[in-house]
Amino acid sequence: MLAVEGLTTVYGAVRAVDDVSLEAAEGSVTTVLGANGAGKTSLLRTITGLVPAKAGQVTMDGSSITRLPVEEIVRRGVAHVPEGRGVIAELTVEENLRLGGLWRGKEAAPMSEIYELFPRLQERQAQPASRLSGGERQMLSIGRALMARPRVLLLDEPSLGLAPVIVAQLMGIVRSLADTLGLAVLLVEQNARSALSIADRGIVLNLGRVVADQPPSELVADERLRHAYLGF
């Protein structure tokens, strides 16, 4: 569904993303792993057009979206949940959700669907998002992205700063989104162990380059790779 070919992003003299190719297929979870500064966030930001690509291509169903403005890429069905959760603290929970489905008009997901998935959000719907806990904010960001019924979901370090129990819960939800809604999920994580536990494919980045692209079981079995890049 989403394909990235030879994507390169440059900040000054730094090649943050260097000739990266990958695919995210319908109903699958692809995780992108690597240390801080490996280029994971830059990769997602280049896919959604927040940062211009220096070279390479991003395609949705075979047609290029590489040079489109962010708003257009979103309209092709790509939802990006940014790092740091990206909830708009000044807006209420409900306003955040409504905003997510606005461009979809009548075809947006009904809010009840999101509340079914994240009951905590319904309890807090009238509160400003600034009052939410870290886990709730993450749920709000994901729920808000789902409002537009996307086909591709890009998640940037959703587990950052969350308690292990919440992380496990969250990973379960991400997996089920791929299984039940058929979403192509691209999951960027530093928490390699949790991400690999739900992924169909694991990609390891180092200094912007792909150093491994394998099924999770093979990644976990490769002791050298684990020690060098995944930290467990």
Partner 1 sequence: MTKFIDLTLSGISNGAVYAAVALALVLIWRATRIVNFAQGAMLMITTFIASAVISSSGSYWLGFFVALTSGLVFGAVVERVVVRPVEGAPPLNAVILTLGLYTLLVAAAGMIWGNTPRSFPAAFSLQGYKVGGTRLLFTPNDTFIVLVVLGVAGLLALLFRATSLGLQLRASAFAPEVARLLGVRVKRMFTIGWALAAVAGSLAGVLVAPSVFLGPNSFDPILISGFVAAVLGGLDSPPGAVIGGMILGLALSYVAGYEGSALVPLAALVILVVVLMVRPSGLFSASKERRV
- Mark the segment that binds partner 1 (CB under 8 A) among 87-95, 168-176, 196-204, 213-221: 87-95
Sole binder of partner 1 in the list 41, 46, 48, 66 (CB under 8 A):
48
Closest CA to 47 of 26, 30, 64: 64
**CA terminus-to-terminus distance, the chain:** 31
Question: What residues between 137 and 196 interact with partner 1 by CB under 8 A?
Answer: 144-145, 148
Nearer Cβ to partner 1, position 81 or 204?
81
Residue 130 binds partner 1 (CB under 8 A): yes
224 burial level (CB within 10 Å; 0-12, 13-18, 19+): exposed
Residues in contact with partner 1, counted by CB under 8 A, come to a total of 26
Q: Is 183 helix (H, G, I), strand (E, B) or coil?
A: coil
* Among positions 98, 120, 193, 209, the unique one binding partner 1 when judged by CB under 8 A: 98
What's the CA dihedral at 54, 57, 63, 68 to 10 degrees? -20
Q: Is 91 in the site for partner 1 (CB under 8 A)?
A: yes
Alpha-carbon 95 to chain mean position: 22
Report in angstroms how near the CB of residue 166 gets to partner 1 at its nearest: 19
The minimum distance between CB 182 and partner 1, in angstroms, equals 21
CB of 42 to partner 1, least distance (A): 14
Using rule CB under 8 A, residue 95 touches partner 1: yes
Residues 6+ apart with CB under 8 A from 70: 48, 49, 50
Q: Does 82 bind partner 1 (CB under 8 A)?
A: yes
> Binder to partner 1 among 14, 102, 163, 221 (CB under 8 A)?
102
Question: Residue 94: how many CA atoms within 13 Å on its side-chain side?
Answer: 9
β-strand partners of 188:
32, 156
Closer CB to partner 1, residue 154 or residue 177?
Answer: 154
Nearer to partner 1, 75 or 209 (CB): 75
Mapped onto helix, strand or coil, the DSSP state of residue 58 is strand
Place of tokens 């993303």: 17
The footprint of partner 1 (CB under 8 A) covers: 48, 50, 70-71, 74-75, 79-80, 82, 86, 88-91, 95, 98-100, 102-104, 128, 130, 144-145, 148
